[in-house]
Each structure stands twice: as structure tokens, then as C-alpha cells.
Amino acid sequence: MTVKEVVKALNLECLTGGEELDREVNGGYCGDLLSWVMSKAQSGNAWITIMSNINIVAVAVLTDVSCIILCEDVTPEEDCIQKAEEQGVVILKSSMSAFELANKIGNLI
């Protein structure tokens, strides 16, 4: 299932993303400690987090996750969105909790 299809199925808000929305979501990872995420998230995963500062973009680029999903209505800072656009990182947003999102994505893919 592609990122775009996940967005549609779960009614996620799309804050950034162009052609990267066509990437395949092959699994997911939930976490807010950046070093932990760096070490554990796998290429193609949807990364679910409440962390919304600009550093999540570098972590997403380096781990090559397919998208970042900000849960519980967390809103990223403007510089974070700008950086994500520059780097081709998809940032999505939802009012759901990390648990709900992971559960739903797990059922979808």
C-alpha cells in the first residue's frame, strides 16, 4: 500500500509530500526518542511520533522512512515543514493516538 493510499484510508492531513506519496509503506515504527528511531526504524516504514521539531526531518532522511505521521494533532513548527519540503520528506498529521494509528496501519498493509 502506498503512502497516498494510507492517507486516503485513514483520512490523514497531508502537510508535505510530492512524488514521495507514491512510496510503498512496508511497516511502521512508533517512537519519540530520535536515537532510538534512528537505530530501529527501517527503510519504507511509516514513522508515528509526537516529536515535531525540525530534527525529525534529518532522522526521516537518514532512516529512509516512507513518511512521518504526527499523531494526537501535534503541529510541526514552520521550519520543520519547510525543511521537509526541501528534503522530499512526507509529513502527515492525525488526531488519532500512536496506538490507534499503528493498529489501523497494521490492518491496512
Q: Which residues bind another protein (CB under 8 A)?
A: 32-36, 38-39, 43, 51, 53-59, 61-64, 79, 87
- Residue 2 vs 82, nearer CB to another protein: 82
Q: Please, what is the minimum distance in Å from the beta carbon of residue 63 to another protein?
A: 8
Q: Which residue has the cell 525543511?
A: 83
Q: How far is the CB of 82 from another protein (least distance, A)?
A: 11
Helix axes 98-108, 3-10, angle to 10 degrees: 120
Least separation, in Å, of the C-beta of 39 and another protein?
A: 5
Residue 9 or 29: the one with the smaller Cβ distance to another protein is 29
Q: Give ∠ CA 18-36-72 in degrees, rounded to 5.
A: 55
d(CA 65, CA 81): 16
Query: Judging by beta carbons within 10 Å of its beta carbon (0-12, 13-18, 19+), is residue 94 exposed, middle or buried?
Result: buried
Residue of 16, 10, 24, 21 whose CA lies nearest to 94: 10
- Shortest CB 9 distance to another protein, Å: 28
Q: Which is nearer to another protein, 73 or 86 (CB)?
A: 86
22/64 with CB nearer another protein: 64
